[in-house]
């Protein structure tokens, strides 16, 4: 399952529309739709907001359980995400 499909499934499980998600991120609905269809990759900030809104672990979205298949560019992206997440922790609401 790819990132867009995981995001879409969780969004639908939470009964949110694409418009709802785009408003919460914030971004326009057309670009959000492209993320779910894997036409466009989310920025780090958009990925952080998506994970925050949907209460998803970014490791799940990025298939980090499959480390043997991660390329050097993926490793750089992961390092960037780790740095970004340290600066902008995900707040949890119970």
pLDDT tens-digit series, residues 70-82: 677 777 888 888 8
Chain-centre distance for alpha carbon 45: 9
Q: Please return the burial class of 36, using the count of CB atoms within 10 Å of its CB with bins 0-12, 13-18 and 19+.
A: buried
Architecture of 3-87 per CATH? Answer: Orthogonal Bundle (1.10)
Q: What long-range pairs does 16-21 form, CB within 8 A, spacing at least 24?
A: 16/53, 21/50, 21/53
The helix (H) or strand (E) run that includes residue 87 is: helix 72-87
pLDDT tens-digit series, residues 15-64: 999 999 999 999 999 999 999 999 999 999 999 999 999 999 888 888 77
DSSP secondary structure letter of residue 2: -
């Amino acid at each position: 399952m790819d990132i867009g499909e995981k995001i879409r499934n969780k969004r639908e499980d939470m009964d949110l529309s694409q418009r709802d998600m785009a408003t919460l991120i914030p971004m326009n609905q057309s670009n959000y739709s492209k993320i779910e269809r894997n036409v466009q990759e989310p920025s780090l900030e958009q990925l952080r907001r998506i994970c925050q809104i949907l209460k998803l672990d970014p490791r799940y979205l990025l298939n980090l359980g499959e480390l043997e298949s991660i390329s050097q560019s993926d490793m750089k992206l992961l390092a960037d995400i780790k740095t970004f997440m340290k600066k902008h922790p995900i707040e949890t609401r119970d």
